[in-house]
């Protein structure tokens, strides 16, 4: 028997999954012309920032693939803030990130791995 929290989580995932619409529909919506408004300006460059490896594949793969289409005209860049070394697997996770971004079509010249854990906390004091 599944615990109640698992059942609630599954139900929530099904409901949210049914609300998902591919990015292509959003692009068609943004490109529609409204005679009462100036034409929509689509970006030519986009920066995707993820917290750690795997986020780009688990959460943003459909968006990355849609933006990287040859006719989209968007130049996509990626920054990952951590190498995911919490369990000592930083080198492996970095290699997996590179392969994932290669598959998703983001070239090495348009991606960075920062891995500076205290960059956002300049006044961090070790206890």
64: Cβ contacts below 8 Å, ≥ 6 apart? 48, 56, 76, 78, 104, 105, 106
Question: Residue 58: which pLDDT band, with cuts at 50, 70 and 90?
Answer: very high
Pairing of strands 45-50, 75-80: parallel
Residue 14 belongs to some domain of the structure: no
Selected residue with higher pLDDT from 27 and 15: 15
In DSSP terms, which residues pair with 116 in a beta bridge?
Answer: none
Question: Residue 124: which pLDDT band, with cuts at 50, 70 and 90?
Answer: very low
Sheet strand arrangement including 75-80: 45-50, 75-80, 111-113
Q: Average pLDDT in the 60-80 region?
A: 88
Residue 13 belongs to some domain of the structure: no
Residue 91 belongs to some domain of the structure: yes
How far is residue 52 from each of residues 2, 8, 55, 99, measured CA to CA in Å? 30, 27, 6, 14
Tell me the per-residue pLDDT of 1-10, one tens digit each, with 9 for 90 and over. 668 887 888 8
Residue 6 belongs to some domain of the structure: no
Question: Residue 33: which pLDDT band, with cuts at 50, 70 and 90?
Answer: low
Tell me the per-residue pLDDT of 74-123, one tens digit each, with 9 for 90 and over. 899 999 988 888 788 889 999 999 999 999 999 999 999 988 766 555 55
Q: Is the pLDDT of residue 23 over 60?
A: no
CATH no. for residue 57? 3.40.50.620
Report how many domains make up the chain.
Answer: 1
How far is residue 14 from each of residues 7, 8, 30, 61, measured CA to CA in Å? 11, 10, 27, 19
- Report pLDDT for 106: 94
């Amino acid at each position: 028997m599944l615990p109640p929290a698992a059942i609630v989580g599954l139900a929530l995932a099904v409901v949210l999954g049914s609300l998902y619409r591919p990015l292509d529909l959003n692009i068609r919506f943004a490109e529609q012309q409204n005679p009462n408004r100036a034409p929509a300006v689509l970006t030519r460059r986009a920066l995707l920032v993820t917290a750690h490896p795997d986020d780009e594949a688990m959460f943003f793969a459909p968006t990355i693939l849609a933006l990287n289409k040859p006719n989209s005209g968007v130049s996509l860049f990626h920054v990952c803030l951590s190498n995911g070394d919490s369990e000592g697997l930083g080198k492996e996770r970095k290699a997996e990130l590179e392969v994932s971004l290669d598959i998703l079509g983001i070239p090495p010249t348009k991606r960075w791995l920062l891995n500076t854990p205290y960059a956002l906390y300049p006044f961090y004091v070790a206890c």
